[in-house]
Amino acid sequence: MNENEQALADAASDKKTQKFRIHVNRDLHTIDTHTISYERVVELYLGQGGPTLPQYVIRYSHGPAANPDGPLAPGEEVKVKDGMRFRVSGTGES
């Protein structure tokens, strides 16, 4: 493998293991995936307990060009970037 091929392989490997720091409300979390789902954001919000029911409204901001901001609904996922912010709030329904 020549130097150029090695550099490309290293860059691809770095991309696979890239970590992203995201904010869920005021808490900082580190994830190692290029996308995040509604359900995963709720899990991060709740911590180690509680069901991930569709009783939450999630809005995000500071996202990549493909999805800079907007709502995240149950069953959906969005691309992430370092520093992205998610705001989780209850719907008021039970």
- Give pLDDT tens digits for 58-76: 999 999 999 999 999 999 9
Q: Alpha carbon of 14 to those of 11, 24, 72: distances in Å?
A: 5, 25, 28
Q: Kindly report, residue by residue over 19-46, the tens digit of the pLDDT.
A: 999 999 999 999 999 999 999 999 999 8
d(C-alpha 49, C-alpha 30), whole Å: 19
Mean pLDDT score, 69-88: 96
